[in-house]
Chain A
Amino acid sequence: MSASDVDRGDALHPGHPVVVDRYTPGARANHWVTAICLVLLTLSGLAMFNPSLFFLTVLFGGGQWTRAIHPWIGVVLFFSFAGLFFRFYRLNLWRSEDSAWLAGVSDVLSAHEERLPEVGKYNAGQKLVFWSMSLLIIVLIVSGLIIWDQYFLAYTSIPTKRVALLVHTVAAVVIICVWIIHVYAAIWVRGTIGAMTRGRVTGGWAWRHHRRWLRALAARGGEDLKGPTGAG
């Protein structure tokens, strides 16, 4: 256990129950912007993806508006996610126990985490979500710029744009699936949503799912054993 297992802002508050600060207000705001952008991009993108979903364009003020606004939301998401990336990448680096954790994925799915190695702030599943989101967002922004005809029409050939459209679509389908997994995991593992909304989880949650992280916070001891800071 060492300070390298925790992020700035992570803190343990003894009590009944124990409360653990997991995300700072800045990290949460950053995540909210990213999350809202991703949902809007999914809705506007799906509207232009399949005719059966074209009706979603009404949410954005019609087809012209949907086409015009989708890339701009993408730009906001790119920079917003870049913020998340630099906040979170360090604790998302792959470690040896992540492979062991992943090998026991059936125990993960059957909620037998006691059979798995103790994990830090992020488990292997979360790390895979993080890295696949990072990679897919780069693919999406690059392919998206190529097919953003309003500003970038002249820079690439039509055959390139055809490939970019296909790549953009496939990457979008994959990122939507990753997002579904991300959201489902947050719902299935009760007590997780509070980390996104209030920045806090209970000690029991951290003990059950991120024990090495909790141990590192407890070992850090002293300085944060001052009760809840009201960081929100």
Chain B
Amino acid sequence: MTIDVNPPTRVDRPLLSEAAIVLRSASAAPAAPVQMEPVAKLIDVSKCIGCKACQAACMEWNDTHQPIGEFNGTYEDPHDLTETQFTLMRFTEWINPKTDTLEWLIRKDGCMHCAEPGCLEACPAPGAIVKYSNGIVDFVHENCIGCGNCVKGCPFNIPRISRVDHTAYKCTLCSDRVAVGQGPACAKACPTQAIVFGTKKEMQAHAEGRIKDLKSRGYEQAGLYDPPGVGGTHVMYVLHHADQPELYAGLARDPQISPVVKAWKGVTQFAGLALMGVAVAAGAVHHLLTGANRVADEDETAAERLSRGGRP
């Protein structure tokens, strides 16, 4: 876990280079990418105190700013993810029917860094979304055309399109920090170490210990949220009620890339191109076989007779 590590003074080579890309939107990735150890951020919801230090750290590191908002009766501020708010504490007040006690469920929302990213699948711009071999899914702004397909592809409703530069924004898992051996800003700022960062294996092992502890304290359904529908994620949650993820401000039970998006990206593209090709080819073949449909001299003669009031 890298949360307490300070930046190295020397970086021998950049860890997140073009060579480490395993998936590249609308184009081919390098054939033999540099294989890095998969990383993960683990968010232990049971340890979160809702202080929003992670939100503040995220804005600080990414140098984003929120306009002054309005109070809507909840602790959520702003009220949704925005193109300048890559992470957001979502607060849910839930009365546990078994214990008849109020539980305050606080989930840090943001990009899950799916192993099979829907945003990348749906993106039509070559190289606007990349996935590195350590699992980080990143947006490359100079390649983004701002079409919003990533918003439609994402099963978690995460990307937002900037009204300023018309490109898509989301949590980068602090790829610029990870590239130099640092953990994400949110993990570094978290005062209870509810957010930890490391290799995915380490995080799974760490989660196991946490789940064991939670179960020993009565949370029988405690578990790890690493949804297989998107191939697993590189941001995982420890949930005290892992059997009911939707309790946590609507966290998806079984997130998957929408079949509508898959149909658009898959069969529609091939069938569409084929159909247009066939239409052109059919015209060419028809013209070759039948020749031009020309007006004959007798047609002109007939028309002349008709125009003179004759009865052809």
Task: Please give the residue numbers on chain A whose beta carbons come within 8 Å of chain B beta carbons, in ascending order.
Answer: 12-18, 48-51, 54, 57, 62-64, 66-68, 109-111, 147, 149-150, 153, 158-159, 161-163, 165-166, 169-170, 172-173, 176-177, 180-181, 184, 187-191, 202-208, 214-215, 218, 221, 225
Contacts and interface: CB of A to CB of B under 8 A. Distances in A.
For chain B, give the interface size range.
35 or more
9 contacts: A15-B304, A165-B264, A166-B263, A169-B272, A173-B276, A180-B283, A184-B286, A187-B287, A203-B304
Contact of A49 (B124, B151, B166, B280): B124
Contacts of B179: none
The SS class assigned to the B binding surface is helix
A202 B295 contact: yes
A202 B152 contact: no
A166 B296 contact: no
Contacts of B157: 158
Contacts of B149: 165
B304 A14 contact: yes
B303 A18 contact: yes
Contact of A54 (B124, B263, B279, B297): B124
Closest 9 A/B residue pairs (Cβ): A203-B303, A63-B145, A204-B300, A204-B299, A51-B26, A184-B283, A173-B272, A14-B307, A149-B148
A17 B297 CA distance: 10
Interface of B: 26-27, 124-126, 143-149, 151-152, 157, 161, 166, 258, 260-261, 263-264, 268-269, 271-273, 275-276, 279-280, 283, 286-287, 290, 292-297, 299-304, 306-309
A217 B185 CA distance: 80
A206 B303 CA distance: 8
Given A109-B290, A162-B261, A54 B26 contact: yes
